[in-house]
Every structure is written in structure tokens, then in C-alpha cells.
Structure 1
């Protein structure tokens, strides 16, 4: 990509380049989404008119060439969408080059990072899979991939259950209740609300190099903090611990593999 600013500058340029397109699509009651150089459109236009608009846009800048892929199904990022006899079907999209490889459980990373992988993947499976059968297939593929990466079965199951608990789903998903409970999860899914606001004037971020014998460090750190600063004005500052990984061969191999 060249300079580190290349992607940012490209996104800035595309933001202004797409304004007329977004306005035209919105005025026609369509949907427009873009991620870097991938664009997804859903609009009720005749195919000939759509192709004509694409050709017209290609005259604006010789450095940007739009190519149209019109079909009853589409893959956008990690989502597969399909028109099945007038019904919208969706599930998780895996590229042909996809391999069942995740952060190995025996790698030197904090446990909370490893727990978040099955949690996030299971949450994605429910959100993306519009039918119970598609969800089952994705869930079992995910479980098998995690087992191959040395994740304990009990941990996988506990993180699956944590997703249901987080969204107050008390019943196990089944073919009878899947549509209703999935809709409940989607309606209550608001990532921006779950983010903890940071007040940098009252928070101190401390990063330390994580290794196996540092598992108990966060608890010891907070105990010492409260012991020595409990009655001090500095106690108004909230320390937040973050981790850095050991720069070893395993880390480099994982980084290269991913």
C-alpha cells in the first residue's frame, strides 16, 4: 500500500467521490454501503439503466474503475446474501481460501483474548444466519475449527452460552424459536452502547508485556494500588491495564500465518 497514509487518503477521496452516487441511490429508495473498494448496492432499477450509470461514473476519474456484478446473490465482506424466491436468505460468507485457523489456545496471550474469539464468532453466526439450519452448520463448523486450534470444549460451550446470557436469551435455540430469539438479539445489539466511555483526564493506561507467569499481575497491581493510594488524591485516577505480547518466534509465526 506504500505510505501508511495511503488507505486514509484513499478513503477520504472516495468519500467525496461517492457523494453523488449515495444521493442518487437514496433518492431512488436503495441501499448503499462501501468498505474501502467494495461497494454493495440494493436498488430497484432495470439492469440496462444500472449498467449505464456505472459506465457514466467510470468517465469521472480514469483512476477509478467500477465493475458491476448483478445477481440474485451477493457476498459483501463476511456476509452472504441471497434472494430465494422473494425471501432474503443470509449466512456467514467464507472465502474459497478460508482455512479454519484462529489464535491457538496454547499461545502466550491473555485468556480474555482467547475467550472473545468463540464469543464473537458465535454472535456473528446468530446475527448473520437467517435460518436455523444455516446457523447449525456455521456453529458446528466453528466448534470444530476451535477444537482443532486446541480450545477446550467446555470453554467453547461456556462462551456460546455467554452470548445467550448477554442478550437475555434463556432458552436454547431451536427450529421453533430461532427466528424470534434471533430477532430479539439483533434488536438489542448496539455495540456503541456497550463501549465504556474513556475520560483520559481521569484514566491511566498501563501496558505490560504478557507472559505465562504474569497471569496474576493485574490482581496484584490493583491490590497494591488500593493499598498505597486509597487515601491519596491520585486514587481519583483509574488505572487500566493492557497487555503487549512477547516478541518471540511463536508470535511472529502467528502474525505471518494470519
Structure 2
């Protein structure tokens, strides 16, 4: 846990486990098996549910699955709500847990504007890619706009976010490569000017928090231990 190589090793192990589980199952194999980290979405015959569930839980003592069945023809998977229509086809829309509060990064917080515009673009992109019935997308985007307005986002930020997204699509592949990339601490008003100045030299820059609550409140090592080690 916490190691950069951790997710890679886990995925390699799970890919090996999946191949073994699916190839060794003696019954009718799942029609669909999708996985993201530790969540799986499976379509399988009802008569095979219990047998397959027991099978995958016997293969490795360290890997145990739980299951959640489709209820009322719907099932939540990650941030998608999958529904089965009468004709057997699937539809999807954005899913939020019952505990979701619609609270996002506050516009008045000490973060770069690009991060706040990124919140808008990310939520809108999720709506565009998750919802497969186009007539439902405007409703979700209206919900996003109302939620972010409650977080202090003015109307101009939505126009700017959409313009930036459009400009980025048009410029993809057409710009000159950067000579270098640097990360600089974020100080409102100053860091933006430094970023603009570096750009004239072909240097791309990104921001990182300067002061964080974790940095102020959390100390991994005891200061007394540090002093004793120095003496």
C-alpha cells in the first residue's frame, strides 16, 4: 500500500487470476466480465450464478469476492447506473451514492483557476461519456451547473471551461513541443505570471500546493526523535 508500483503489481496479479478463473470454470462461462481495480461487472446465466461465485472464491485464499445482484433491472457499477430495458439492451447514466452531497472544490479556495475549470470539464466529460441516451445529457449538465453554482462558481467559468476544451481539441497535435516541463508552488497572482513568462521560453509548467492542511497538522516523524538523531 502506498508504493507507486503497487497498482501495477495488483493488476498483473488480477489479470493472471482472471485468466485462470475463466479458463478453469467447468460450467457456462460469463457472457461479459469487466473489471476496474477491485470492482467487476459480470453478465452470466442465472443458473450459473452460485456455481461461478463459489468457483472464483476457491482459487486463491487471499482473493475473496462479494456479490451484488441486479435489482429492479438496475445495477450500480463505479459511477455508472446500468439499466436493462425491455428489449434486453443496456442503458447507462451517472450514478451518485446516497451519501453524495454535490460538494466539489470551492471556487473561493486557494487553487489555480485551471484546477477549478478542470472540475467543470471533468464532470461534463463524465456526463458525455457515461450517458448513452443523448436526451438525458442536458439534464445531467444542468444538475452539474446548479451544484457548482452552490460551490461559488460564476457563470463565466462554464463558458471559459467549454471554450478551453474546444480550443484544446483543435490544437491537439498542432503545437510545438515544449523544451522542458517544471512544477512550481502555487501562489495566487504570482504563479500565473511566472507560468506565462516560462511559456515564452518554451517551458511548460504546472502548479502544486504550497501550504496544505496535511503539511501543517501531520508530522510523519516525531521532532524529538529528529533532534536526538542529530545529537
TM-score using structure 1 length: 0.67
The equivalences for 1:128-207 within 5 A come to 128-132=130-134, 134-160=136-162, 203-207=179-183
Instruction: Give the deviation of 1:6 after TM superposition.
Output: 4.9
1:247 to 198, 207, 211: 211
Determine if contact 2:75/2:83 at 8 Å carries over to the other structure.
Answer: yes
Q: Deviations over 1:152-187 (max 9, x none)?
A: 11222443466678779xxxxxxxxxxxxxxxxxxx
CA distance in 2 between partners of 1:248 and 1:70 (Å): 42
Tell me what 1:31 maps to.
32
Tell me what 2:105 maps to.
103
CA distance in 1 between partners of 2:165 and 2:158 (Å): 11
Q: Deviations over 1:82-138 (max 9, x none)?
A: 002124221001012212121111222222221121112112112222335532332
CA distance in 1 between partners of 2:67 and 2:207 (Å): 44
CA distance in 1 between partners of 2:134 and 2:24 (Å): 37
2:196 to 190, 213, 219: 219
Structure 1 unaligned segments of length 5 or more: list them: 169-193, 226-237, 254-258
Instruction: Give the deviation of 1:29 after TM superposition.
Output: 7.8
Helix, strand or coil at the partner of 2:58: coil
Count of aligned pairs:
210
Q: Which runs of 4+ in 1 moved over 6 A?
A: 164-168, 250-253
Helix, strand or coil at the partner of 1:41: strand
Structure 1 residues 37 and 222, CA, compared in 2 at 3 Å: closer, same or farther? closer
Determine if contact 1:119/1:162 at 8 Å carries over to the other structure.
Answer: no
CA distance in 1 between partners of 2:107 and 2:214 (Å): 12
My pick for the range that moved more, 156-165 or 14-23, is: 156-165
Tell me what 1:188 maps to.
none
Tell me what 1:70 maps to.
69
Instruction: Give the deviation of 1:62 after TM superposition.
Output: 2.0
Determine if contact 1:51/1:68 at 8 Å carries over to the other structure.
Answer: no
Determine if contact 2:94/2:131 at 8 Å carries over to the other structure.
Answer: yes
Instruction: Give the deviation of 1:74 after TM superposition.
Output: 1.6
TM-score using structure 2 length: 0.74
CA distance in 1 between partners of 2:51 and 2:41 (Å): 17
CA distance in 2 between partners of 1:166 and 1:218 (Å): 18
